Amino acid sequence: MSVKVQGIIAAMVTAMYEDESLHEAEIRRQVERHIEAGANGVFCLGTNGEAYILSEEEKVRVIKTTVDQARGRVPVYAGTGCPGTKETIRMSRLAADCGADVLSVISPYFAAISQDEIIAHYTALAEAVNLPIVMYNMPARTGANIAPDTVAALSQVDGIVGIKDSSGNFDNMLQYIEKTDRNSFSVLSGNDSLILWNLLAGGAGGITAVANIYPHVMVSIYQNFIKGDIAAARAAQDSIRPIRGCFRFGNPNTVTKKAANLSGQPVGPCRAPFNRLNEAAVAAIAETLRSDRDRGMQ
């Protein structure tokens, strides 16, 4: 598949049964749901996919299930980033063998890392695999921001085709856009609240967690943007502010999954210990969903 990294890519949760085992049938239903809503891609094993807490065997099952269900209709992005370069290469090759179309690779984490080391890591990966690579910047989890000059340098490496920025710092993302060639390199917002602003600044779209709750709304941001209906795109973008506000109640992955479940999507729990929300938080999320439904969000 020739992949154009753009549009709305659903950062899928990994559906599980109540005992925390993988729910493959529900993973398939969720892939179908995102494709039917018009997503430009589906992304498994990201932060919302709980890749940090799945075994290697489970990761392989998730990728294979997602690829099999997508059937080439949209590209499948797979998260393969590990703390070490050799392990990242190994996981990336496994994802390629499973049929993934694009690699989403978070920068190395836990140990402190320099920008030179980040460049060496991604360059080695690009030399070792034959799939397009989208870097993933999430300093809140990794402890290191991928600097704009680093992104500019890596954008010149064959095989590195884009970056997802989840820093929440719009100026950081804007510099990514300014310092790279938008004809050959895609800058995606990993923050749902900044997708339209990313597009207006010359970015390529977003990888979105809120698509697990409101897939049609998230897709409409991009679809209205490319039609030139900025007012409608802005209305869709603004409409997710209440549910985004619920992320203050706990781990965003946990809130996303809880909201999806309360919306009638049986994606199950997050894995312990990241699975607890107090009663007040659950009630607030439920009330937000009710209000959103009254406004026609889906």
For the segment 205-244, what is each residue's pLDDT rounded down to a tens digit?
999 999 999 999 999 999 999 999 999 999 999 999 999 9
Q: Tell me, what's the pLDDT at 3?
A: 84
Going by C-alpha positions, the residue among 51, 64, 153 that lies closest to residue 106 is: 51
Report the percentage of the chain scoring pLDDT > 90. 99
Residue 190 near residue 136, CB atoms below 8 Å: yes
pLDDT (average), residues 282-290: 97
- The residues carrying an active-site annotation are 136, 164
Q: Does an H or E element contain 213, and which?
A: none
Report the C-alpha gap between 76 and 99 in whole angstroms. Answer: 8
Going by C-alpha positions, the residue among 80, 268, 91, 74 that lies closest to residue 66 is: 74
Residue 181 burial (C-beta neighbours within 10 Å; 0-12, 13-18, 19+): exposed
CATH fold of the domain at 7-227: TIM Barrel (3.20.20)
Report the C-alpha gap between 139 and 128 in whole angstroms. Answer: 25
Residue 180 burial (C-beta neighbours within 10 Å; 0-12, 13-18, 19+): buried
Distance of CA 205 to the CA centre of its chain: 11
Comparison of pLDDT for 63 and 2, the residue scoring more:
63
pLDDT (average), residues 17-39: 98
Residue 259 near residue 48, CB atoms below 8 Å: no
Chain mean pLDDT for the chain: 97
pLDDT (average), residues 173-185: 97
Residues facing residue 76 across a β-bridge: 42
Total count of residues recorded for the chain: 298
179-184 contacts: CB < 8 A, separation 24 or more? 179/148, 179/149, 179/151, 179/152, 179/155, 180/151, 180/152, 180/155, 181/155, 184/155
Residue 226 near residue 179, CB atoms below 8 Å: no
**What would the two tokens of residue 169 be?**
């710092």
Does pLDDT of 274 surpass 90? yes
Report the C-alpha gap between 59 and 41 in whole angstroms. Answer: 18
The domain spans of the chain are 7-227
Q: What value does the CA radius of gyration of the chain take, rounded to a whole number of Å?
A: 18
Return the number of other C-beta atoms located less than 10 Å from residue 271's C-beta: 16
Q: Tell me, what's the pLDDT at 294?
A: 95
Q: Tell me, what's the pLDDT at 2?
A: 72
pLDDT (average), residues 98-111: 97
Q: Tell me, what's the pLDDT at 101?
A: 98
Does pLDDT of 1 surpass 70? no
For residue 66, name the pLDDT band (cuts at 50, 70, 90): very high
Residues facing residue 205 across a β-bridge: 7, 188
pLDDT (average), residues 11-33: 98
Report the C-alpha gap between 85 and 156 in whole angstroms. Answer: 19
Is 287 in a helix, a strand, or coil?
helix
Task: Report the Cα–Cα distance between both ends of the chain, in Å, rounded.
Answer: 30
Q: Tell me, what's the pLDDT at 192?
A: 97
Q: Does an H or E element contain 44, and which?
A: strand 41-44
Beta strands in 186-266 (DSSP E): 186-189, 205-208
Q: Tell me the per-residue pLDDT of 242-262, one tens digit each, with 9 for 90 and over.
A: 999 999 999 999 999 999 999
Does pLDDT of 23 surpass 90? yes
Q: Which residues are CB-neighbours of 83 under 8 A, at least 6 positions away?
A: 108, 109, 110, 111
CA angle 159, 163, 169 (to 5 degrees): 160
For residue 134, name the pLDDT band (cuts at 50, 70, 90): very high
Is 278 in a helix, a strand, or coil?
coil
Q: Tell me, what's the pLDDT at 93?
A: 98
Does pLDDT of 5 surpass 70? yes
